């Protein structure tokens, strides 16, 4: 057993969960994990179908993007993942998908409003959508600049990535993260479902407003914080 076998195993299972939860088709999407003690990340290889993935194909890189273990090219989104790990030291896994409703909202360039309690169970605020990337950044180090785009949007809008563990990159698609790979996948599934619900809500009633703050706070804080009482 190699020194990265556990990291590879977790990364493989997380990436297979993208397919299991219908968050992407063909080769779309990727999950990464970081081992901050060993200063390496594990990530899906680029362009490999999920049904062909195994532990041997998972790529291990150092935090500068150099391949430590693996014979395949890492995900084309690797630099985005590395930048987020560098800037946000409390996150340990990142998931990027092209799930239908989340991409739809990304392409609309609109935040996803808190329309109901399902959303409020996870966030007290709208799911943020970044502005489209400037041409100079697209033509530059595009994948790195996608990470810059996300971090800058959070800083500009006073968002805490430990509280808001998901976002939409304008004209691109969703990213989510968490303390481990289960969190990042869970947040991706929730993001897609909330985007679907919001789309249906707007379709039924285009003039619908955000729910009351009192209801948002009730649902969020009964699950989160020192006075939470949801679950066992």
| Active site residues per annotation | 121, 230
User: What is the distance between the alpha carbons of residues 45 and 225, in angstroms, rounded to a whole number?
Assistant: 37
Q: Which helix (H) or strand (E) holds 175?
A: strand 173-178
Tokens of 183: 């969190």
109: region left, alpha or beta (phi > 0 left; psi from -120 to 50 alpha): left
Report the alpha-carbon angle 86-178-175, nearest 5. Answer: 80
Cβ-contact 12, 54 below 8 angstroms: yes
- Helix, strand, coil shares, percent, the chain, to 5: 40, 15, 45
């Amino acid at each position: 057993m190699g020194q990265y076998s556990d990291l590879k195993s977790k990364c493989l299972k997380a990436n297979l969960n993208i397919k299991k939860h219908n968050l992407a088709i063909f080769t779309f999407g990727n999950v990464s994990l970081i081992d901050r003690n060993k200063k390496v990340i594990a990530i899906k290889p680029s362009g490999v179908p999920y049904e062909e993935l195994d532990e041997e194909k998972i790529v291990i890189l150092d935090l500068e993007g150099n391949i430590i273990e693996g014979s395949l090219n890492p995900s084309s989104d690797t630099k985005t993942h590395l930048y987020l790990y560098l800037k946000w030291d409390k996150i340990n896994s990142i998931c990027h998908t092209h799930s239908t409703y989340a991409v739809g909202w990304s392409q609309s360039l609109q935040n996803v409003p808190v329309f109901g309690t399902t959303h409020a169970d996870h966030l007290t605020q709208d799911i943020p959508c970044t502005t489209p990337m400037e041409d100079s950044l697209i033509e530059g180090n595009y994948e790195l600049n996608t990470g810059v785009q996300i971090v800058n949007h959070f800083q500009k809008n006073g968002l805490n990535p430990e509280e808001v563990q998901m976002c939409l990159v304008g004209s691109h698609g969703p990213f989510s993260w968490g303390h481990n790979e289960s969190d990042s996948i869970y947040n991706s599934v929730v993001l897609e479902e909330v985007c679907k619900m919001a789309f249906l809500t707007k379709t039924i009633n285009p003039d619908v407003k955000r729910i009351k703050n009192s209801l948002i706070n009730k649902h969020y804080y009964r699950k989160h914080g020192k006075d939470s009482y949801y679950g066992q």
